[in-house]
Amino acid sequence: MSEISTSGTITMDGTKGSETVQSHVSSAKSTSDIEKVNFLDKLRHSGEYRIRFLHTCFVVWMFITLGWNVSVVGGTFPDLRLIIQKDLETASWIFTLGSLGYLVGAFIGGLLFDRMNRLLLLVVVTILNALAIAAFPWCSTFPSMLAINFFSGVFNGGMDVGGNSHVASIWGQNAAPFMQTIHFGFSFGGIISPLTAEPFLAPKSCPDVPNINTTFTTSVPFANGTTEAGTECEEVYGETHIHYAYLIAGIVSLSATVPFLCLYLLSKRYYTYVDSPIASFNISEGKKLKELPNLSLPNRVLFVTLLMLLISIYACTEGRFSGLLTTFLTDHLDWSTADGLHVTSLFWGTFAAGRFIGILVTRFLKTPTMILIYLIALTVSFVGMFFAAKYNVRALIWACAALAGFSMSVIFPSIFTWTAESILVVTGTISAIYLVGVSVFNMLFPLLYGYLMDNFTQMYFVDLLIAQCVVSLCIYISIRILVKVNIQTKNDLNKTSVLY
């Protein structure tokens, strides 16, 4: 494959590319100008760069739809319970089956990704996911809703493993900003999805007929707009129209199919199918970036296992904090539900903002360094949350929740990037191992949190989060040591032997 200079000119030996870089450096007035010139020249003059950039844009849109689909189920959960007429404990099996389906989809998707046309695979999973999400609220029986959510989870897992694997494989050591971008797309979809569903939710009303057997006390609106406080009544839901919200989600998800289908249909005639990293040159040194190490099988297994544990424990930390934060604040600190939801919303806002900023941060920090900084910041946020909860310092809780969201934002995609940059080629199988580990931890850890918080104290919520951060830091340090011993030391010895 031809190598691409940083100016975007295709060269065979890199000499002309290096001269072009020097001319751009001398003509540019600042570092930002250099980076801008290089990016535009790559898009103009390098067909290989353009097609990879186009693939990445399509994956970003697919991840926006993925975040959209995942978020709409949680946001409309009360209306789903209305449709199937089940209590909270029973209806929660919807999430369990969805997680199980996601595990199966990630595993199968990872195996198929390395064995079939990846564009065709992405076409299939996006089409099937669009059909599943659109059909979701039409399942009026509980078993049918469980089944459709299981299959929706399967397709979500296939989209997730396919998108992560594809971006990591086509960019290789240059994947960092693109991995951050696709995961920002996921967060963006998760933010806008509830906004589109809100107009179709079932309205809650309080009949103005007193009932001594009811469980809610609220104010009853009268025709003249006044209210009579203290009237006892039972809040009831009106008619739900979330079928339209899910139809919108299905159409949005279906739109992600079109670009991949076009690429697939054109791939036999034009160069629209890519499955390998693009060659690149280091701007400051004008030389090709380092090659990935040739690890033995035991070392490969060891690295993949440790990285899987790191990403799984982190993902479980993210899921438990976001899912139980409101419960912790309302049950343990006696906050109102509205205040708890506002803190959770702040968390998601800083989480999305952090992923956007992470696209820029990758240009200034090496990926391992970035993971370490964000893990330390996350640990600090949870320690601060511990003291804030112990002494009920409301302002500190808000600040720690915001810091936690920002600190969590880049870790998940950065672990994929670290693997692709320095350790192993990210294949579909490796992505599947990571995501299957994430699914297993997300299925088991809620049981541990629930048992400890219900039977002992709610403070175990913060204690477990701190413990998971400490374990994550220990695993991270172990990986850094192994990289130093098994990869960097061997590379230095090889360079020395070549010199002599």
Is residue 423 within a helix (H) or strand (E), and if so which, with residue range? none
113, 329, 345 from 333: Cα distances, Å: 47, 5, 18
Over residues 466-484, the mean pLDDT reads 94
Tell me the three state secondary structure of residue 2.
Answer: coil
Q: What percent of the chain has pLDDT over 90?
A: 25
Query: Strands, DSSP E only, in 312-421?
Result: none
**What is the Cα–Cα distance from 323 to 317, expressed in whole angstroms?**
10
User: What is the per-residue pLDDT for 492?
Assistant: 53
* DSSP label of 362: T
In percent, how much of the chain has pLDDT > 70? Answer: 76
> What's phi and psi for 474, nearest 5 deg?
-65, -45
Query: 344 CB contacts (<8 Å, ≥6 apart)?
Result: 322, 325, 326, 401
- What pLDDT sits at residue 126? 93
> From CA 471, how far away is CA 477, in angstroms rounded?
10
Residue 308 is predicted with a pLDDT of 94
CA distances from 279 to 82, 298, 367, 474 (A): 54, 28, 19, 34
Q: Tell me the two tokens of residue 307.
A: 């990285």
For the ranges 15-19, 358-362, 376-380, which has the lowest average pLDDT?
15-19
Least confident of 21-30, 51-60, 276-285, 461-470: 21-30
- Give residue limits of the domains in the chain: 46-201+241-289, 204-237, 292-500
Predicted confidence at residue 205, as pLDDT, reads 64
The correct CATH number of 46-201+241-289 out of 1.20.1250.20, 3.30.2350.10, 3.40.50.300, 2.120.10.10 is: 1.20.1250.20
**Token pair for 147:** 């089944």
**Which pLDDT band holds residue 491 (cuts at 50, 70, 90)?**
low
- Residue keyed to tokens 């175990």: 460
- Residue 109, phi then psi, degrees to nearest 5: -60, -40
pLDDT confidence band for 474 (50 / 70 / 90): very high
Confidence of residue 333 (pLDDT cuts 50, 70, 90): confident
Task: Give the 3-state DSSP-derived string for 257-289, with helices as H, strands as E and coil as C.
Answer: HHHHHHHHHHCCCCCCCCCCCCCCECCCCCCEC
Architecture of the domain defined by 292-500: Up-down Bundle (1.20)
Nearest by Cα to 181 from 50, 356, 339: 356
Residue (of 393, 375, 385) closest to 462 by Cα position: 385
Domains 46-201+241-289 and 292-500 in one fold: yes
User: DSSP 3-state assignment of 462?
Assistant: helix
Cα distance between residue 384 and residue 414, in whole Å = 25
CA-nearest of 191, 199, 189 to 68 is 189
Mean model confidence pLDDT for the chain: 77
pLDDT digits (tens, 9 = 90+) for 217-265: 333 333 333 344 444 555 566 677 888 889 999 999 999 999 999 989 9
